[in-house]
Structure 1
Amino acid sequence: VYSEDLGFAEVDPEVAVVVRAAVDRLVAAGTVRLLDRDAGLLDPAGAWTAVRGGSPDAPEAVRVRRANDERLEALLAGGALLLTPATPNRPHGHEGPGSRYSTALTWAFNLSGHPAASLPAGFTGDGCPVGLQVVAPRGADLRLFAAAREVEDALPAAPAPPLPGRR
């Protein structure tokens, strides 16, 4: 199952293009077969903040976590894997992320306990690395490792672009 935004995240268009191209290469190689399922998760930012702030039982946090857990169980039924960008935006510089949340696409799985791995998907036009996140059903850690190996085999690592001013 491929989801660019899990139903709530704002994804940098170039990040989305790089990840979708990697997914298309995986389909062409026969590594994955896409299923037509909509992720449609609720934004877990508030639930994540509640857990981190020591209020994991806050009613709204519990509601969002339960809804997303149920949605993920249905989405990953039958051993399906979920493919998303690992982060919704390019890496930030030394100034920090500002108002952007580079973890928006990982919160749901940190909260639910679904195993996930980030693998190289490619680079943006200006050389920023982009990751492909692979998420497996809860308890399917070994399946995730096997899938990650298959993805790595099908998506050979691209050489890193040269640093500015170096050849």
Structure 2
Amino acid sequence: AAWSPDLGFAEPDPPTVAIARGAAVRLAEAGAVRLVRPVTPLRLEDPAPAWLALRSPGVDPSTPAAEAALAPARRVRADNDRRLAELFAGPELLLTPTTPGPPHGHEGPGERYSTALTWAFNLSGHPAVSIPAGFGDDGCPVGLQIVAPHGREDLLLRTIAGVMADRAF
């Protein structure tokens, strides 16, 4: 499995990264994954503009105007899919923090989206799961996101099955 603290674009909090990285190491120690350093670090394009364009209310993708508006979003998705395919030619899994920082309050996320590390895979359709990684100093949970290649839900579920049964993890 390859580890990426930021997918090449996000700016996660160092404590969140440390907790998620610790969970990745525990997965390796439990024999669920083998951590490897990819030949080239993963550098995805920030999917935020693409996600927001594709999810904008009132956009009818069948119209010519929408096609022009959505072309940049489709390019980001295609570029990120290519980069992920290159990564998955080596390690079978990708491990990242689930969110870039602690949960936001009831007032909302503010300037940073809590989805910064997950929506790349919502956009691309790669199977992903979040498992508990630990707790921050504030007592809030931190997650470890595990991402698999397209169509490899079996690998993802097999990887976490034994570990999640072990309450010590």
Q: TM-score, normalised by structure 2?
A: 0.85
SS of residue matched to 1:117: strand
Residue 45, structure 1, aligned to residue 33, structure 2: no
Separation in 2, partners of 1:24, 1:79 = 15
**What is the aligned residue count?**
157
> CA-to-partner distance for each residue in 1:72-118, whole Å, 9 max, x for gaps?
11111256100001111101112221111000111111111110001
- The aligned residue for residue 90 of structure 1 is 102
- The aligned residue for residue 99 of structure 1 is 111
Residue identity in the other structure for 2:9: F
Aligned positions of 1:52-91 closer than 5 A: 52-53=55-56, 54=59, 57=67, 58-77=70-89, 80-91=92-103
Separation in 2, partners of 1:27, 1:147 = 11
- The aligned residue for residue 110 of structure 1 is 122
Residue 122, structure 1, aligned to residue 149, structure 2: no
Contact between 1:121 and 1:155, CA under 8 Å: does it hold in 2? Answer: no
- The aligned residue for residue 6 of structure 1 is 7
Deviation at 1:3, TM superposition (A): 0.3
Alignment RMSD (CA, Å): 1.8
What's the % identity of the aligned pairs? Answer: 56
Residue identity in the other structure for 2:52: T
Deviation at 1:30, TM superposition (A): 2.5
SS of residue matched to 2:72: helix
Contact between 2:33 and 2:159, CA under 8 Å: does it hold in 1? Answer: no
Of residues 34-43 and 80-89 in structure 1, the stretch that sits farther from structure 2 once superposed is: 34-43
Contact between 1:119 and 1:131, CA under 8 Å: does it hold in 2? Answer: yes
Separation in 2, partners of 1:150, 1:82 = 18
Contact between 1:26 and 1:154, CA under 8 Å: does it hold in 2? Answer: no
- Structure 1 residues not aligned, in runs of 5+: 158-167
> CA-to-partner distance for each residue in 1:36-87, whole Å, 9 max, x for gaps?
1221111111110111013674222121111100011111125610000111
Contact between 1:118 and 1:131, CA under 8 Å: does it hold in 2? Answer: yes
SS of residue matched to 1:122: strand
- The aligned residue for residue 31 of structure 1 is 32
Contact between 1:31 and 1:151, CA under 8 Å: does it hold in 2? Answer: yes
Contact between 2:133 and 2:144, CA under 8 Å: does it hold in 1? Answer: yes
Residue 19, structure 1, aligned to residue 20, structure 2: yes
Contact between 2:36 and 2:91, CA under 8 Å: does it hold in 1? Answer: no
